[in-house]
Each structure stands twice: as C-alpha cells, then as structure tokens.
Structure 1
Amino acid sequence: MEPVDVVNRPLSTPTLGQESRAEVLEQRRANRGTDKQEFTSDFSALMAQVKEAGLLARRPGWNTLRFVLLGLSYVVAFAMLFLIGESWWQMATAVVFGILFTQTAYVAHDAAHRQIFTNGKVGEWVSTIVGNLFIGLSYGWWLKKHNALHHANPNKAGVDGDIAPGALIFDPEDAHELTGLRKWLAAHQGWFFFPLLTLAGLQLHVNSVQAIIKGQSSIKRRWIEGILIAIRIIGFPLIAIWAAGPLIGIVFTIVQVMVFGLHMGGSFAPNHKGQPIVPKDVKIDFLRRQTLMSRNISGGRPMGFLMGGLNYQIEHHLFPSMPSVNLHKVQPMVREYCAQKDIKYTETTLFESFGIIVRYLNRAGLGQADPFDCPITAQFRSR
C-alpha cells in the first residue's frame, strides 16, 4: 500500500536553490535520524520568520546561569543530606534530589538538541557526563530513542518508541491481542497511570544499563558511559546510606527515584499522550506532523520552569535546536501561522491534559479509540 500524504501533494526536500543552505541544515538537524528529509514551503516560510527574529541564536548568558544555579543547588542538597543525618526528615531531602535530578535532565535534554553549544562535540560530552553521571541515564541510548525516533515521527505507530506497547497500551490496535488479566489491566490502565509514573525513573535506569551492557550501536562511548552510570547508580545510594544509615538511606533512595519518575514522566507525558496516533502507512509534511501530534501546556514561564520548557512542545518540536528560554517568544508566531494555515494548535492546562491522558488510556486499553482521529488527516486514512 502506498503511503498517503495528508496534504495531498508530493513531499520533497527543497533544493539549495530554493532555500538557503543554513535553513536546510537547520531542518535536517530538526529531523536527524530519518532516511528522508521531508519539508514543505509552509515550514520554510515559518522558519524564515523565526530566523529573522533571531530566536535560534544560542543564549550563553542564560545557560551559564543555569549551570551555576544547578551547581549551587547540588551543594545545598548534599549539605541537607549530611547535616540532617539519620532522620526521617531525609525524605524531604529525597524530594529535593528528585526535583534537582529532573532539572538536570532538562539541561542534558537541551544540550543533546544543540541548544546550548555551537560545537557538537562539546554538546555530546556535556550530555554524556550530565546524563550518565548525574541522572543515571545513558546519553547514547536516549539520543536515538528521543531524537532519531520520537522527534522524527511523533506518535507514529511502530516507529515512535514512546508509544510502543509495554506497561501501558497507547495504540488501541495493540489492545486487541491481550487476554486475561493483562486485558483487564489495560481496560483500566488510565487509573494506573500516575502510580506507574513513580516507576518511570527506575525504568530509565534499567533501560540505560541494558543498552550499555548490550553495546547498542548508538552508544559511541560505551565504556565511558558504563563507568559514569555505574558511579551514579551505585555511588549515590551508598552516599545516602553513609549519611542517613542503612534503613533511612534505602528508603531515601526509593523516594528519590519515585519523585524523579513522577516529575520527569509528568513533564513528558502531557506533550503527546492522547494526541492522534498516526498509522505506519500515512505520511505527513513536517509542519503538520510536529504540530498535530503535540500538545502545549498553558501556564507561561512558571510552567516553563516546572517542565523545563517542554510545555511549549509544539514550538520545541518545530525548532528543537532553539534555546528553551526562547520558546515562549516564538509561540505567538507559531500560533498565528497555524491559524493562517488552518492547522489545529492544541493547548490545555496541566490538569486538563492529565484528564485527557487518563480517559484516552482507558479507551485505548479497551481497543475502542480511533487511532487516527485528527479531523484534518482522518479523511486520508488508509483503508
């Protein structure tokens, strides 16, 4: 079956004669990891506006401030850990570390998207060190999963690993094969969503270690990543046990991992979960592919701090190398442009998004949801 193009016209990469080389390179970076780079004049026109506004330029002052504040926060957190000592008040310290590790993950995320450093090698090393040593997350494993698969094909069945069947079922088609207890759990999975988020941090650690042990091809510095992540995953709990004693130290580690998973998962899940899922045989131009499958979270700059700028998910997917601090500036431009092109632009509150996710997961678990219910693209669905 031939792929269906929802804008009903051939997709092709603009030639250098049609666009500047810088624009083409920026587009390729945005969709790194795909076999074909598919962009239309719609996105090119928007890109031209953004470049003219200077919003793709790095923000060295802002990023320096972020690193300084993170460094000071770690000093305070470790001071709390050792000064409180063997006391159940360490659970408050565990919460602080869980939040701090999530904020650190945002920095690693931005560096991996080339938002911070103009030198790609420097960005890779910073992401490798920060990801493995501070977060316990393999940079090489995550880069392929997040950039090459998720960003290139958000919510595309069989491609985007973020919607692959696992503890949760996101594509209703996957629910049809379930039986017994697994089928019952899937039918009620929406109600298990938040409890499962507390395990998201542990899952990231496990998946990272497995990828390093197996020598996944995307991990360029396997031994370096392995050493750094071992120091983090083994060393940090030992420090907690040393500072707070065996029992409190172990509980501290469990709480920290749960808070990290809840905060991290709660920042990523609202961005795409419950948005349309695209069948494998459907092709969509870049602008619509990134916009229709993403959801923004309202709340402005405070929400931006809480979610590391991921609340501007539509803008981030369109311009992944744009500094996260600039995303709120480009939002009005993108919103207006989508209105001109009659492209649905989705934005809800954080709590509304959680409600959407829970309801969607329960429907998907029953196999009842339409996996391609986007009003613009449904007419082009393959039969």
Structure 2
Amino acid sequence: GTAKIVENMELGHNVMHGQWDWMNDPEIHSSSWEWDIAGVSAHWKQTHNYIHHKYTNVLGMDDDVGYGLLRVTRDQRWQPWSVGNPVYNLLLQLFFEYGVALQHLELGKVTQGGIDRVELVRRGREVLAKVGKQIAKDYVVYPVLTGPAFPLTFTANLTANMIRNVWTNMVIFCGHFPDGAEKFTTADLEDETRGQWYLRQMLGSANFEAGPVMAFMSGNLCYQIEHHLFPDLPSNRLHEISVRVRALCEKYDLPYTSGSLPVQYLKSWRTIAKLALPNQFLRATADDAPETA
C-alpha cells in the first residue's frame, strides 16, 4: 500500500505534471511516464493538467467538481439521486483509480451528444486496455507466480490498491472540498485577467498541515494552494514557496485555507453529506455557506 501511494502521489502525479522534465531523463519524463493505476496517463494529463488546472473548480468546466457523481456546491442543481452523495463518495474512495480511468470518457456528455462517437470508442478502447493490463498484473499474473499463496497475494494486492485509492482520494478532497475552498461558475471567467486566474487558484484550493513524512506521502499536495499556483514547480520546493504565499495572503487580507488533515477531511465529508439534501433544507446560500471562504 505504501509503495503504491508513493508511486501514485510523489512520483506519478508530479512527474506527469512535468516537474522533473528539466532533467531530460527519458525514464522520469511527463511524456513517457505510465503510472500503476487503471487510468491512462495521456487521458489524465488532458483532464487534470489542462482542464482542471486551467478551469479550477469552475462548475461545468472542471470535471473534478464532483467528478460527475457528487454534489459538492449549492450552485449544482439538486437531483433526486443526489441523496446518495455519501454512498457515492464511499464507493469513489474505494475504487478511485477506476473513477480516474472513466473521467476522460465524459460519460455525462454522451447522452447530450457532446462527444463524437468515434472519439468515445477510441478513448473507451484505451481505457479497457489499461484496466485489463492492471487487473491482469495485480490479480492474475503476480498471484499465479506465488503458487499456493495465490489467495493471499490476490487479497494483499486488492487491499494495497484500496489503501492507495482511499489515501489518494483523501488528499485530493482535502485540497478541494473543505470549508473555504471556493467553487466558481462560468460567469466568473468573463474577462478574467492573469492575476485573477492566480487569485482563483488560491481561493479554490486548501492546504493541510503536514511534517516531512506526511508531505512526502501526499506528494507534497498538503501544499495544494501552492501547487495550483505553480503546477510544474518541483514538489520539494512547495514548502519553501508556501512561506511567501502565506505572507502575500496576510499582506492583502486574502484567505489562506489550511487545517489539520482530519479536520479538513471531515469538513469535506460534511459538505458532501449536507449537499445530499435540496437547498431548501439547508440554512445558508451559495454565497454564505460554511464551505465558502
């Protein structure tokens, strides 16, 4: 489980952001890295590096706002199936790598005709090939190689993958959904300047407190605010720059959202649980809800 977390968070995520491309090492380069999860690296670089980081927390633009499954802001219209928010989140945690794999298919847009069928089939084949490869490696080949220990190896690999999935989900959600992490609408993008883009990254992200070990295990995404400001900055420099970012926030009276990991995680769950209900059952509005800064 630890090995898979390190490969996913500190290596895969940061390498594919291009943080180490300056070394010109072909084995540690964003163009060649394929990580040890069900999601296709090329797909993730499009949905995450480009769409998520450009349109951070913009409803209707950034699929990471609820992953097409969760209601995480009052600006999202409540639907009857939203009552299952906590259940969906639990399932997404346990099988997060498959959620990442499906994200680029944009299944929510298929029924609306927003995706060309030929393109959908092409993406689908790439997803099935990667998922098949991962399942064969973790649940067939490696267990077979251990002979009589097949059941133990199978369950150990399943447990390790779920440990990685839950941890990855926790780190990402603590960076985007606790109280203070703003959500935006497309109206907020009108005439957005470069400076306002940086401001939106700060307002839409949240940190959690971590020492050196926790920072390493989270891929340094305990500094999510700094990562969103400078996504291709090498992860080991985020702590250093966080001091300057915090000072700027204090100087200009801007919120710098941070807290302990358990608190940030529980706040994320609280928001997800609350928004399973229609707005008329909630006290606050989208403008003064606890989850807004």
TM-score bin (small chain): 0.7 to 0.9
2:188 alignment partner, one of 278, 282, 299: 282
Structural mapping, 1:203-218, within 5 Å: 203-205=99-101, 214-216=121-123
2:173 alignment partner, one of 255, 264, 269: 269
Separation in 2, partners of 1:247, 1:356:
38
Separation in 2, partners of 1:290, 1:209:
25
Structure 2 residue matching 1:296: 3-state secondary structure: coil
Match of 2:235 in 1: 324
Matched letter for residue 273 of structure 1: F
Structure 2 residue matching 1:265: 3-state secondary structure: helix
Match of 1:73 in 2: none
Matched letter for residue 315 of structure 1: E
Separation in 2, partners of 1:355, 1:165:
19
Please report how far the alpha carbon of residue 266 of structure 1 lies from its aligned counterpart in structure 2 after TM superposition: 1.4
Please report how far the alpha carbon of residue 120 of structure 1 lies from its aligned counterpart in structure 2 after TM superposition: 7.8
Aligned length: 265
Matched letter for residue 280 of structure 1: T
1:259 alignment partner, one of 131, 151, 163: 163
Match of 2:3 in 1: 100
Matched letter for residue 185 of structure 2: P
Matched letter for residue 148 of structure 1: Y
Matched letter for residue 31 of structure 2: W
Please report how far the alpha carbon of residue 287 of structure 1 lies from its aligned counterpart in structure 2 after TM superposition: 2.0
TM-score, with structure 1 as normaliser: 0.61
User: Taking every aligned residue pair, what percent have the same amino acid on both sides?
Assistant: 22
Matched letter for residue 158 of structure 1: G
Matched letter for residue 121 of structure 2: K
Confirm or deny that 1:185 pairs with 2:84. yes
1:239 alignment partner, one of 141, 144, 169: 141
After superposition, what is the alpha-carbon deviation per residue over 1:7-48, rounded to whole angstroms, capped at 9, x for unaligned?
xxxxxxxxxxxxxxxxxxxxxxxxxxxxxxxxxxxxxxxxxx
Separation in 1, partners of 2:98, 2:23:
32
Matched letter for residue 142 of structure 2: A
Structural mapping, 1:61-72, within 5 Å: none
Structure number with bigger Rg: 1
Match of 1:291 in 2: 202
Separation in 2, partners of 1:108, 1:165:
20
2:16 alignment partner, one of 112, 135, 151: 112
Separation in 2, partners of 1:235, 1:164:
30
Match of 1:57 in 2: none
Please report how far the alpha carbon of residue 332 of structure 1 lies from its aligned counterpart in structure 2 after TM superposition: 0.8
Matched letter for residue 252 of structure 1: A
Structure 2 runs not aligned, ≥5 long:
108-118
Please report how far the alpha carbon of residue 230 of structure 1 lies from its aligned counterpart in structure 2 after TM superposition: 4.3
Preserved contact between residue 59 and residue 76 of structure 2 (Cα < 8 Å): no
Alpha-carbon spacing, 1:228–1:200, altered in 2? closer, same or farther (3 Å): closer
Preserved contact between residue 220 and residue 238 of structure 2 (Cα < 8 Å): yes
After superposition, what is the alpha-carbon deviation per residue over 1:282-329, rounded to whole angstroms, capped at 9, x for unaligned?
135122111011101112322211211000011111111111011111
Match of 2:95 in 1: 199
Alpha-carbon spacing, 1:374–1:320, altered in 2? closer, same or farther (3 Å): farther
Separation in 2, partners of 1:226, 1:192:
22
Matched letter for residue 321 of structure 1: D
Please report how far the alpha carbon of residue 265 of structure 1 lies from its aligned counterpart in structure 2 after TM superposition: 0.8
Match of 1:170 in 2: 72
Match of 2:59 in 1: 157
Separation in 2, partners of 1:206, 1:253:
21
Separation in 2, partners of 1:165, 1:109:
18
Preserved contact between residue 173 and residue 367 of structure 1 (Cα < 8 Å): no
Separation in 1, partners of 2:120, 2:186:
31
Matched letter for residue 302 of structure 1: V
Alpha-carbon spacing, 1:335–1:183, altered in 2? closer, same or farther (3 Å): closer
Structure 2 residue matching 1:312: 3-state secondary structure: helix
Preserved contact between residue 47 and residue 104 of structure 2 (Cα < 8 Å): no
Separation in 2, partners of 1:175, 1:228:
34
Structure 1 runs not aligned, ≥5 long:
1-97, 379-383
Matched letter for residue 65 of structure 2: I
Matched letter for residue 135 of structure 2: I
Match of 2:265 in 1: 354
Alpha-carbon spacing, 1:155–1:264, altered in 2? closer, same or farther (3 Å): same
Structural mapping, 1:335-346, within 5 Å: 335-346=246-257
Please report how far the alpha carbon of residue 143 of structure 1 lies from its aligned counterpart in structure 2 after TM superposition: 0.7
Alpha-carbon spacing, 1:370–1:307, altered in 2? closer, same or farther (3 Å): farther
Separation in 2, partners of 1:261, 1:363:
24
Preserved contact between residue 202 and residue 257 of structure 1 (Cα < 8 Å): no
Please report how far the alpha carbon of residue 153 of structure 1 lies from its aligned counterpart in structure 2 after TM superposition: 1.7
Match of 1:84 in 2: none
Structure 2 residue matching 1:297: 3-state secondary structure: coil
Alpha-carbon spacing, 1:169–1:228, altered in 2? closer, same or farther (3 Å): closer
RMSD in angstroms over aligned alpha carbons?
A: 3.2
